[in-house]
């Protein structure tokens, strides 16, 4: 294994925030972080994942479910502002799908939007 190469990681729901936390903790190793319908990405805590962009070297894909956006419409703006302030590449988009849309066995699985999100992650990882 070539540990000099950067890796990509992905998280769904609550593990979406782990991708940002991991990318901040290991910037020399993690070059891409993807979050799908991630929970807890923007909080009022001083260690909120959205505040960690400055500690990252990774590019990010943050795919937000439309019902998550409806519950917290300011989260996408906070994520965008934090990424921009840190000078980090971040694709942040609200998908026209419900929380859990990427998970095959979820009752709200949306094949078209899941495949679109997956292809965006593969494009992100191709840049490593």
Residue 2 lies in a domain: no
Residue 86 lies in a domain: yes
pLDDT digits (tens, 9 = 90+) for 108-120: 999 999 999 999 9
State the sign of the Cα–Cα–Cα–Cα dihedral 94, 95, 96, 99: negative
Rounded mean pLDDT of 100-104? 96
Rounded mean pLDDT of 96-104? 97
pLDDT digits (tens, 9 = 90+) for 71-98: 999 999 999 999 999 999 999 999 999 9
Q: Which two tokens stand for residue 84?
A: 């921009």
Counted domains in the chain? 1
Distance CA 13, CA 18 (A): 10
pLDDT digits (tens, 9 = 90+) for 31-61: 999 999 999 999 999 999 999 999 999 999 9
Residue 99 lies in a domain: yes
Distance CA 57, CA 94 (A): 23
Residue 71 lies in a domain: yes
Supply the CATH number for residue 91's domain.
3.40.50.1820
Distance CA 126, CA 113 (A): 20
Which phi and psi (to 5°) does residue 3 adopt?
-75, 0
Residue 119 lies in a domain: yes
Residue 81 lies in a domain: yes
Residue 91 lies in a domain: yes
Residue 111 lies in a domain: yes
Domain that holds residue 73: 7-126
């Amino acid at each position: 294994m070539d540990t000099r190469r950067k890796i990509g990681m992905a998280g769904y729901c609550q593990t979406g925030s782990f991708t940002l936390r991991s990318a901040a903790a290991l910037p020399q190793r993690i070059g891409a972080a993807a979050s799908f319908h991630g929970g807890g990405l923007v909080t009022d805590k001083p260690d909120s994942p959205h505040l960690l962009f400055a500690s990252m070297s990774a590019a990010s894909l943050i795919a937000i479910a439309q019902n998550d956006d409806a519950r917290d419409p300011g989260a996408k703006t906070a994520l965008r502002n934090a990424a921009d302030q840190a000078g980090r590449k971040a694709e942040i988009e609200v998908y026209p799908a419900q929380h859990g849309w990427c998970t095959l066995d979820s009752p709200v699985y949306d094949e078209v939007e899941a495949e679109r999100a997956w292809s965006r992650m593969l494009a992100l990882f191709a840049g490593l």
